[in-house]
Amino acid sequence: MIPQRVLGITGLSVSRMGLGLAALGRPGYINLGHAQDLKALSQTAMAEQSQQILAEAYKLGIRYFDAARSYGLAEAFLAHWLEAEQPKDIVIGSKWGYTYTANWQVEAKNHEVKEHSLSNLNNQWQESKAQLDTWLNLYQIHSATLESGVLENKELLERLFELKQTGLFIGLSTSGTNQAQTLELALKIEKSGERLFDTVQASFNLFERSAGKTLELAHREGMGIIIKEAIANGRLSKRNQAAEVQPLLAEATKLEVNPDALALAWVLRHDWVDVVLSGAATKDQLRENVKAFDLDQENLENLEGLEQNPEVYWKKRSALNWN
């Protein structure tokens, strides 16, 4: 079984690996080779595939599941599984801030639109609540950045404090080259001595490590730490054969494991990480990801040289094609 731990000061018991539903709730996504992971692109086929992966994740010991309003039908797929299976001892997180606009088309011009307004928070909160009801534990700002101004919108922050008073935990996810600065600002937001944000979900992997020290600080201050994009949207998997990933591929071959397990294990070696998300879309991927817990931490020393300049990393990420 996957190890468990408490998610910061929330008191919630979570598995150290969670399942992110970005690749399961919509036919288009930026993971390398996403199209070949899908049995079919219809809503019915993807609903069936999502149910199979959710069941497999739970069987393997995953107890944290992460969705978002912009992940197509991810919340609906998750809600169907929850109602059908009534799983025990799980934690559910979702996010607001992006609206899915692709209309189930992989070739859509725009797949999602970002809007960090108070009206969008209120609308998407009602939508998430309608789907996930009492299952929802954690509601996060999706991709909070300094540029969006979301952390300086007093009315919006006040609304998040109101939601927090209902027993909901509040988090934020970060992206881009200013993840650390965004988190530093978030740590300062409080009311009557109570900090607003209980958790942060950040990109942190062998390539992109710029937020590491700030994430460690946030963990020491009681914030729950959830890591996304640990495999860098497939760039830290065998689907990427570019020079940037060759040391990882070579080490994985030597250890007779898939590189994604090695990349996940490297993230998990940081004790301040509470949960690392798997973005698996197939059972085989999920089973390989879980093997991260079987790897000896000493085998990870040869991977320290893969770090990239954040500007380079995020430029490459922004250039990834959908599917």
pLDDT digits (tens, 9 = 90+) for 239-249: 999 999 999 99
The total number of structural domains that make up the chain: 1
Does the residue 86 lie in any domain?
yes
Q: Give this prediction's pTM.
A: 0.98
Compute the average pLDDT of residues 78-96. 98
Mean pLDDT of the chain: 97
In a domain, 323, yes or no: no
Q: Where are the alpha helices (DSSP H) in 61-211?
A: 74-85, 118-132, 154-165, 179-187
Given a contact cutoff of 8 angstroms between Cβ atoms, the answer to whether 255 and 197 are in contact is no
- Mean pLDDT over residues 220-238, rounded? 98
Q: What per-residue string of b and e applies to 11-26 under the rule 16 or more CB within 10 Å gives b?
A: ebebbbbbbbbbbbbb
Is residue 114 in some structural domain?
yes
The pLDDT > 70 percentage for the chain reads 100
Q: How many other C-beta atoms lie within 10 A of the C-beta of residue 152? A: 11
Residue 271 belongs to what domain range?
4-318
Residue 27 lies in a domain: yes
Q: 7-26: per-residue pLDDT in tens?
A: 999 999 999 999 999 999 99
200 pLDDT more than 80: yes
Q: Is residue 309 part of a domain?
A: yes
What are the φ and ψ backbone dihedral angles of 65, each rounded to 5 degrees? -130, 130
User: pLDDT-derived band of residue 301, with 50, 70 and 90 as boundaries?
Assistant: confident
35-39, 72-76, 181-185, 295-299, range with the lowest pLDDT: 295-299
Residue with tokens 């040391």: 247
Can you give the length of the chain in residues? 323
Q: Taking 80 as the threshold, does the pLDDT of residue 297 lie above it?
A: no
Domain assignment present for residue 163? The answer is yes
Residue 296 has pLDDT above 90, yes or no: no
Domain membership of residue 106 (yes or no) is: yes
The Cα 161–Cα 180 span in angstroms is: 23
Bigger pLDDT: 304 vs 86? 86
Tell me: the pLDDT tens digits for 137-192?
Answer: 999 999 999 999 999 999 999 999 999 999 999 999 999 999 999 999 999 999 99
Cβ atoms of 262 and 293 closer than 8 Å: no
Q: What is the pLDDT of residues 91-142, one digit of tens each?
A: 999 999 999 999 999 999 999 999 999 999 999 999 999 999 999 999 999 9
- Kind and range of the H or E element at 37? helix 34-37
pLDDT at residue 268 in the model: 97
Mean pLDDT across 229-250: 97
Q: What is the pLDDT of residue 298?
A: 74
CATH number for the domain that contains residue 302: 3.20.20.100
